[in-house]
Every structure is written in C-alpha cells, then in structure tokens.
C-alpha cells in the first residue's frame, strides 16, 4: 500500500495517530501518583483506579447507565427485528424509501431529539425522566437494529426459508428454525452497537436526566467541570478496557466479518 498509494497510506497513519494519541495520554495519566492531570505522569500508582471504583456518584451512575442501555437495546431490537423482516422479506412498495424513513433518526441531531422529547413528554405530559430517556435512547438505537439486522437478512439465502415452507413448516416454525439462526449475528451486533452507543450517549442524556437519575458519561462531565484530578482518566481507562473485552468476546463468539460484513451490501 505504501508503494502504490503513498497518499492513502499517509492519511491512514495520520488517522491512527489522531485516534490513538489522545487515548495514550488518558491511559498514562490514569496511572499517575500525582494529584493533577499532567503529562508525563508523576510516578506510578493505582490510587486513582481505587478511588474511581469506590466513588459513589460514579458507581451509582454506572448502574443507571447499564440499566438504561439494556432496556433501550432490548426495546430497539424488539421493534427493529420485525421491521427488518418486513422490509427484506415482505412485499412492500418503495422499500428503499421505507428503510430510509426508519434510518432517519441517525441524521437528526440528538439535541433536537432531546429537546422535542423534553417539551412534548416531560413538560407536556409530565412524564418522568427515566421513561423519557428510554424512549429517546430507543429512538436513537432503532436504526442500528433495522440496518444491521437487515444486513444479515441481505446476506442470507431466501431459498432456505422457501424450502422450509415448501416442506410443510409453518411460518412460525420457519422463523425459529431457519430465519432466527440466520439473524443471530445481526441481532448480536445490533445489540452490541446499541448498548455501547446508548451507554456513551451524552447530548440526549444531558437534556433529559435530572439529579435523581444520572448516567455515567454526564456524571463524569460534571466531575471534570468541578475538579482537575486523574479520577476521570482512571474511570475512562476502565471503560476502555471493558470495551476491549466486549470486542474480544464479539470476535470470539461471532466474528467481526460476520457482524459487519453485510452492512454495505
């Protein structure tokens, strides 16, 4: 690549540097023995990891973020999988237009979605913030379920389902024995993307949450506005390690080729 496409190779190297260097600074400062965020770190210590793991606002916000992400992911999959089946296996006129409408939340700014939900649900209907957050995160995660699950269906051979029905299997049995196993990589990857995106969401969560329910990213944002110590770097490093573990599990169980291979097809 360096001999045939030197410009592309240079741009790729620069892109990797831009992505990796900030992570390197965050991880190294998390292990500092000092009391402020500075580079190079002052000595080596695990002090800030211990403090981050025992800091009550972070731990309670972590539980809230996981709870919200799990519920939003489950709801988005429950709604998105039937929609993907209808688009790719049903006889719907204008399928591309219909799919584009379901993917439209990806192009709407999250602040606009959050403001609309705040005005219509929390102010207009006096809805609590947690159900509003679930609705908002589900709206944002729904396109992932439709698109990624649809990619699995696009790669699957419809003749397998037709053969099962031709042999006398009912539509329900065909779905459970043929279609669902074909969808499994797409459902797994859609759930993974939805969970990570929901967990890390800031704009929507910042608009819709209150002091009684706060997610971890927003709590960390509030923390760095008040203090300047490496605790946030330590928590970020822990979350980064968790993300790497999830990625390794996904690679071992399904494989990234199966997860993302058909999205652009």
- The predicted pLDDT at position 264 comes to 46
- The predicted pLDDT at position 1 comes to 47
Residue 213's DSSP bridge partners are 210
Please give the Cα distance from 170 to 164 (Å, whole number): 8
Look at residues 57, 28, 58, 60 and name the one whose alpha carbon lies nearest to residue 42.
28
- The length of the chain, given as a count of residues: 265
Please give the Cα distance from 69 to 241 (Å, whole number): 18
DSSP state of 210: B
The domain locations on the chain are 53-214+252-260
Burial of 261 (0-12, 13-18, 19+ CB in 10 A): middle
> pTM for the complete prediction?
0.80
CB 216 within 8 A of CB 65: yes
- The predicted pLDDT at position 75 comes to 93
Query: Which overall architecture, per CATH, does domain 53-214+252-260 show?
Result: Orthogonal Bundle (1.10)
Structure tokens at 12: 């790729």
Distance between the two ends of the chain, CA-based, in angstroms? 25
Binned average pLDDT, 10 residues per bin, the chain of 265 residues: 68 84 83 78 83 88 91 91 79 72 79 84 82 89 84 74 76 78 81 86 82 84 83 87 80 61 47
């Amino acid at each position: 690549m360096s001999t045939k496409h030197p410009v592309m190779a240079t741009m790729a190297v620069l892109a990797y540097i831009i992505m990796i260097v900030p992570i390197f600074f965050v991880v190294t400062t998390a292990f500092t023995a000092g009391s402020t965020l500075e580079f190079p770190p002052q000595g080596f210590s695990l002090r800030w990891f211990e403090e981050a793991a025992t800091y009550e606002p972070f731990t309670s916000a972590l539980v809230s973020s996981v709870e919200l992400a799990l519920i939003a992911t489950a709801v988005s999959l429950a709604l998105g999988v039937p929609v993907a089946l209808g688009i790719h296996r049903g006889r719907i006129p204008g399928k591309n237009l219909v799919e584009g409408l379901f993917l439209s939340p990806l192009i709407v700014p999250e602040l606009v979605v959050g403001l609309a939900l705040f005005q219509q649900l929390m102010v207009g209907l006096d809805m609590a913030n947690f159900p509003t957050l679930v609705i908002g995160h589900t709206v944002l995660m729904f396109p992932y379920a439709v698109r990624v699950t649809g990619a699995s269906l696009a790669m699957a051979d419809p003749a397998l389902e037709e053969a099962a029905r031709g042999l006398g299997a009912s539509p329900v049995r065909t779905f459970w024995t043929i279609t669902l196993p074909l969808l499994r990589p797409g459902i797994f990857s859609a759930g993974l993307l939805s969970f990570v995106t929901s967990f890390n969401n800031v704009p929507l969560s910042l608009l819709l949450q209150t002091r009684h329910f706060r997610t971890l990213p927003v709590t960390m944002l509030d923390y760095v506005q008040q203090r300047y110590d490496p605790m946030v770097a330590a928590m970020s490093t822990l979350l980064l390690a968790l993300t790497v573990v999830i990625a390794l599990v996904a690679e071992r169980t399904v494989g990234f080729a199966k997860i993302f291979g058909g999205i652009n097809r």
